[in-house]
Structure 1
Amino acid sequence: MEKETVRIENFSDAVFAIAITLLVLDLRAPEADTIKNGSELLTFLKNQWTTYLAFTLSFFSIFIMWVNHHKIFKQIYSRNTAIMFANGLILFLVAAVSYPTALLARFFGGEAATIAVAVYTGMFVLINIAYNLLWWIASTNKKLLRPGITDRAIRKIRDNYAYGLPSYLIAFGISFSFPVTALTINMILLLFWAVSSGKINLQQE
């Protein structure tokens, strides 16, 4: 069976690459005339810790999303209009990650941290829903999937994505009162996706 999703995957790879590149735009060096010595430069760098945190968290989030996207399309061989639009929704949200990242970088250390974290965690709720939608559309028609994939493999991938949604919703809900805890949950979920991405690599199932 010839794979029909090559153009979708190539286009998606380009969007993921651009999304990661956009994150770098928020990393700014100070103007030379505002820094007089090494001590002032060190102070400036220390004050930018929220920017470094937001950049690191979002970089690896997008990277792991790309890994999962790559592995899920190893299971999807054909495409229809619904798959293309569901994939487009994922790409739209991934491209928008730079905005909540900027909010997190600017406001996480202040009084507006709750809203900044709520927007950030809310974005990943939407991304998780989009991934669930993509796999649901693909798995409801087995003809769209790779030849020989078993029902067990289909359920394993479905369950893997379904596990994340309640956790993201919890993180979003508590972000209005406990932003640090909410962001910590997001970090734990990042590790979860990094480890569980192997469940999607089911070529022999």
Structure 2
Amino acid sequence: MEKETVRIENFSDAVFAIAITLLVLDLHAPDITAVKNGAELLAFLKGEWTTYLAFTLSFFSIFIMWVNHHKIFKQIYSRNTAIMFANGLILFLVTTVSYPTALLARFFNGEAASIAVALYTGIFVLINISYNLLWYIASRNKKLLRPGITDSAIRKIRNNYLYGLPTYVIAFGISFRFPVIALAISMLLLVFWAISSGKIKLAQE
């Protein structure tokens, strides 16, 4: 069976690359007139720790999303309009990650931290929903999937994406009161997705 999703995958790879590139735009070097010596440079760098934290979290979030996207499309062989629009929703949300990242970098260490973290965790709730939607649409018709894929494998992939959703919702909910804990949950979810991506196997199960 010939794979029909090559153009979708190539376009998606380009969008993921752009989304990661946009993150670096929030990293700023100090003005040369504002820093006179090494001590002042170190002080500036220390003051930017929230920017580095936000960049690191978002970089690896998008990278892991790309890994999962790559592996899920190893299972999808054909496409229809619904799959293309569901994938488009994922790409749209991925490109918006840079904005809540910028807000997190600027406001995490202040009184607006709860709103900044809520926006940051909220975007990942929507991204998780979009991945669930893509797999739901694709798996409704096995003719769209890799030849020989089993019902057990389809359920395993579905459950893998569903497990993350309630955790993202919890992180979003508590971010209004406990932003640090919510952000810590987001970091743990990165580890979960990194590990669980290995469950989406190419081999027939």
Task: Settle same-fold status: TM greater than 0.5.
Answer: yes
Query: Is 1:123 equivalent to 2:123 in the alignment?
Result: yes
Structure 1 runs, 4 residues or longer, greater than 6 Å off: none
Aligned twin of 1:63: 63
Q: What's the counterpart of residue 50 of structure 1?
A: 50
**What is the deviation of 1:201?**
1.6
Structure 2 portions without partners, runs of 5+ = none
How many matched pairs?
Answer: 205
Residue in 2 that maps onto 1:19:
19
SS at match of 2:128: helix
Q: Which runs of 5+ in 1 are unaligned?
A: none
Task: Say if 2:176 is the partner of 1:176.
Answer: yes
* 1:32-181 equivalence runs, <5 A: 32-181=32-181
Q: What are the Cα deviations for residues 111-150 of structure 1, in whole angstroms up to 9, with x where unaligned? A: 0000000000000000000000000000001100010000
TM-score of the pair, normalised by structure 2: 0.99
d(CA) in 2 for partners of 1:204, 1:172 = 36
Counterparts of 2:99 and 2:31, CA distance in 1? 23
- Partner Cα distance (1:65, 1:203) in 2: 21
SS for the counterpart of 1:33 is: coil
Per-residue Cα deviation, 1:36-81 (whole angstroms, up to 9, x for no partner):
1111100000000000000000000000000000000000000000
Aligned partner of residue 26 in structure 2, secondary structure = coil
Name the SS of the counterpart of 2:169 in structure 1.
helix
In the alignment, is the contact (CA less than 8 A) between 2:150 and 2:204 conserved in 1? no
**Which residue is 1:6 aligned to?**
6
1:199 aligns with 199
Verify the 8 A CA contact 2:19 2:94 in the aligned structure 1. Answer: yes
Provide the secondary structure at the position in 2 that maps to 1:146: coil
- SS, match of residue 160 in structure 1: helix
Write the distance in 1 (CA, Å) between the matches of 2:42 and 2:4: 52
1:77/1:144 contact within 8 Å kept: yes
Range with greater deviation from structure 2 (128-137 or 33-42):
33-42
Q: Contact 1:153–1:202 at 8 Å: present in 2 too?
A: no
Once residues 185 and 102 of structure 1 are traced to their aligned partners in structure 2, the CA distance between those partners, rounded to angstroms, is 19
